[in-house]
Structures are given as structure tokens and as C-alpha cells.
Structure 1
Amino acid sequence: MRYLLFCFLLFSSNVFAARIAIIIDDIGYRQSDKAVLSLPSNVTLSVLPLTPLGKTVATQAYQQGSEILVHLPMQALNGKTIGPGALTNAMSEQDFKQQLEYAIDSVPFAIGANNHMGSLLTQLTEQMHWVMDTLLQRNIYFIDSVTTKFTQAGAIAEEMGVPLLKRTIFLDNDKSDDGLEFQFQQAITLTETQDSIVIIAHPYPETLAFLSNNLHRLAEANIALVPASKLLPFNVASQDKETKDPTVRLE
């Protein structure tokens, strides 16, 4: 009996209290984006479609054991250029879904998707139904980047049965050391009340250097760093704040 109790306590001490997924998105244009390949393989990488480096980085990252997402460009309220694979409210359903299929096919090994920008499009229920219908058919899970507090993407994903996660924190709206540290520590603090956290960050040199130097703190805080799909309530086959809030990135 004492032996069994000892084994139980030993096992329990190695179980992480909470889990964090870190997603690096906006990958595909800059040669410096390749630096994401130096991060641990349990950091999730989200690759922009139809970009010069997208296929290369996605393939190499997958071979290293990383989970790959397609970072779907969606229309923003600020009118910013969206880039190749853009999804807009001016497109017919047929054109929209065809564009979405092209985007998915351009990022090899993608098992999930999250929105790039989209503060306008994610508010539109019809277009979000088109997105989720396509993702459901492709067996791709969705992460709502929450670029507007009015997003409908998550609600429609749940309605249609698309496996869903939602971004908790943007790590690098402020790329200064103090800004990165504040958001990173906030994520750690949130694990006291939430058992899973989704962080979105970008392949800025400052961000990658910060992560390289600080990821060890998660294990020290009894937090597991996991691929994003590990936070889903079930496996995927190969799954309101004010806009001035620093954790919201309006795009």
C-alpha cells in the first residue's frame, strides 16, 4: 500500500497543472521567418497561404515535429491590404470557398487554421458559415484570433461542430522587453484560474529571442507547453474586451 501511495505521489508531482499553446503566425514572407525553426517543436506555427517561403517553412517545421496551421487572410475594418488568398465580403460563395480551398492547399500539413486580421469578416455570419463549412469538410480545426470583440467566428464554429479554440493573449503587440514580459507573465498568472491558455505571437526577432530565453519558465511554473490541438476537447485527425485592451489586436 505504501509503495502504491509513493508511486501515485511521484506520478502526480510530474503532472502539469495547466497547459499553454503558443502560436507564431504571419509566417511566409521574410527570410527572417525561418528563425521560427529554432523554437521547440511544441510551438505551433501558422503559415500565410501562397507566400514565397510558406511551403518551405511548413514542410521543414513539420519534419521537425511542429504542428502547422494555415493563417487565413480575412478582410479588416481598417482596410489594410490582406495579401494572397484574401477572403472578403465582396466575394460570391463559390469564389470565397474556392479561394479558401486554394489557401488551405498552399500550406502543406496544416491541420488547423486561424484568422489573419479579419476584424470585419469575422463579424459576418454568412461568410463565417462558409469558412466553417469548408473547414469541417477538410477536418481542420479553427482558432479564433479574436481581432474584434464582435467576432462571430467562434460561435459559428461551435454551432457547426468545428473544433474550436480562442486566442487568450497577444504576446507582442508591444515588442519591448517590458511589453513582452508583461504579457508573458500575464499568461502565467492566468493559469491559476484557467487550465489552458492560447497565446498568439509573431516572428519578430524580439519575440523569438524572448521566447528562446524564457520558455523554460513555463515548466518551472508547472505549465506544459503543448501544440494547439492538444487543448481541444478531443483529438483532430491527421483538431469581451474593449479594443484598447492590450490583449486585443484590432486587424
Structure 2
Amino acid sequence: MTNQKNTGERQQKIIVFLLFIVLILASIIVGTFNKINLIEKQPVTKAPDIEPIEAVAPVSTGKIAIIIDDFGYRNDAVSEGFLNMDADLTYSVIPGHEYSQTMSKKAFQLGYEVIVHIPMGTTAPKYGEDEYIIKASMTSAEIESRMDKVLQHLPEAVGMNNHQGSKASASKRVMNVMGTVLKENGKYFLDSRTTKETQAELIMRILGVPTGRRHVFLDNNADENSISQQLYILAEKAKTSGFAVGIGHVKENTLNVLQREIPKLKADNFEFVFVSEVVN
């Protein structure tokens, strides 16, 4: 009996011990589970959005628009040099010459702006220009016909400036007819201001044709030092007024100066732009 009693007591103790172990294990499991839930439920702190820093464009010192007149006379190293300039330049082509259409197409294809350098009443007619020239003595119908013809001859042109022709550009009637045709075709007119009596800019504004004026001639004096001085006068005008328009010609010295000085002016944050960007 005593042995059976002792055996029963040992069994009870073992059962109690096992239950104690089970309870401890259960507590550990429950505690671990709660910790896992707590970790999962903890709010995740979102990293603040960081806006990308954009590069700040340098402030423009001024816009310089340069027209190079007299394309069409030549097709050589000088004209090719202009067609390789690393700047937005506007090339003005005289109609009717041997290389007029060739230069117009090449300049356009290379991404430059092309305009018509319209001969207006020069007293020294040159071969090829006669059928395109605008004279103050012409009737309005004749002027309109010439304008249509020249725009068909140089379809790449987005505008026009005058070549000589002081008498014609001083005529309100002539400029009115020319301006009407330009407006119908969506072209602009830049007044080269070859005479102080010019009516071109005024009439274009009245008609609503985008227009502007030449501020500086770069190469009336063909000396490189003089051309450089004129270029920096143009730059100073652009700096004080926001923009300025200069006119040069397809000449070797003009090319040399522009190749040398344009990079320097760009380094000073001057912008070289097409004339279409500054007419209004």
C-alpha cells in the first residue's frame, strides 16, 4: 500500500512539474508573440521628401542678334566659316545671285535663321538683282509682284531686311505695300536704317508686322580692331537695353572677329539669338 501511495505521489509531482514547464513555455510563447505584434504595429517613420536641387541657369547679361548681310555673292571659305559658327546668327541672302538659293538652303539646313536681303532702289544695279529689286518709282502692283517673286525664290526666309534703297524705304506707300505682303505671309521686317528718313519700322508697326531696327553696323570699317570695337558697343547696348541688333557682312575680317569674340561674350553670359526673337 505504502509503495502504491509513494508511486502515486511521484506521478502527481511529475504531472505538476510538467504542467509547470508547459505554463512556462506557454508564457514564453505568448510573450514572444506579443513582442512580434508590438514590433509590427509600431508606426514606421517616413523619411521626409527631399526635393531635387535644380541647377540655376545663369542670368542673361543681354541678348545679341546679329544679321550677316550679302549671302549669295560667294561660296568659299569665308561663307563656309559663317556656316560653322557656334552661335544663333541670322543670315540675309540677296536674291538673284549665283549662290543665293544654295546659301539659303545650306544655312537653313544647318539650323541658322534665313531672311531676304531685299535690294531697294540701289543706283548701282548688279547682275541678278534687277528682277527682284524694289524701286520707289514702281506701281503698287509691281511691288507686290516683286515681293511674291522673291519670297518664292527664297522659301527658307522667315523675314526681310533692306539692302540700300534709302529712297524706297523712305516711302510710306512702298513700305505699306511691302508690309502688307509680309503680313500675309507671316514674315517679319528688320529696318537696316540706311537713312534717317526711313519709314519702314513705323509702317510695319502700324500694319502689325513684327519689326525692329538695326542698332550697330559692325564692319563699315573693315579693320578688325574697329569691328571688335563695334561688337562691344553692340554688347553694351544689349546689356543696358536687354537686347540689341547688329549688322555685319560676309567678310573675312568680320568672320575672324566673331570667331574670336563670340566665345568671350558667351562666357560673360551674353545670349546670341535669332532676329525673330527680338522683333515685336
How does the TM-score come out when normalised to structure 1? Answer: 0.84
- The higher radius of gyration belongs to 2
Higher relative contact order (CA 8 A, sep 6+): 1
In structure 2, the partner of 1:14 is 58
Q: Which moved more, 1:84-93 or 1:130-139?
A: 84-93
Residue among 79, 96, 99 paired with 1:34: 79
Q: Which runs of 5+ in 2 are unaligned?
A: 1-49
3-state SS of the aligned residue for 1:215?
Answer: helix
CA distance in 1, matches of 2:200, 2:181: 13
Residue among 82, 99, 104 paired with 1:58: 104
CA distance in 2, matches of 1:53, 1:40: 22
| Percent of matched pairs sharing the same residue | 30
RMSD of aligned Cα (Å)? 1.9
Q: How does 1:1-251 map to 2 (within 5 A)?
A: 7=54, 10-11=55-56, 13-32=57-76, 34-35=79-80, 36-40=82-86, 42-76=88-122, 79-81=123-125, 83-84=129-130, 85-233=132-280
CA distance in 2, matches of 1:92, 1:122: 15
Matched residue pairs, number? 226
Give 1:59 shift. Answer: 0.8
Larger fraction in helix: 2
Is 2:164–2:194's contact at 8 Å kept on the other side of the alignment?
A: yes
Is 1:29–1:51's contact at 8 Å kept on the other side of the alignment?
A: yes
Give 1:41 shift. Answer: 5.2
Is 2:108–2:114's contact at 8 Å kept on the other side of the alignment?
A: yes
How does the TM-score come out when normalised to structure 2? Answer: 0.76
CA distance in 2, matches of 1:24, 1:154: 19
Letter in 1 for 2:111: G
CA distance in 1, matches of 2:137, 2:83: 36
Is 1:55–1:108's contact at 8 Å kept on the other side of the alignment?
A: no
CA distance in 2, matches of 1:108, 1:56: 12
3-state SS of the aligned residue for 1:15?
Answer: coil
Is 1:49–1:104's contact at 8 Å kept on the other side of the alignment?
A: no
CA distance in 1, matches of 2:273, 2:187: 18
Q: Write the deviation string for residues 60-119 of structure 1: whole angstroms up to 9, x where unpaired.
A: 11111111101111014xx23263311002211111110111112111311111011121
CA distance in 1, matches of 2:166, 2:138: 17
CA distance in 2, matches of 1:126, 1:163: 18
Q: Write the deviation string for residues 130-172 of structure 1: whole angstroms up to 9, x where unpaired.
A: 1101101111001000101111000000000000111111100
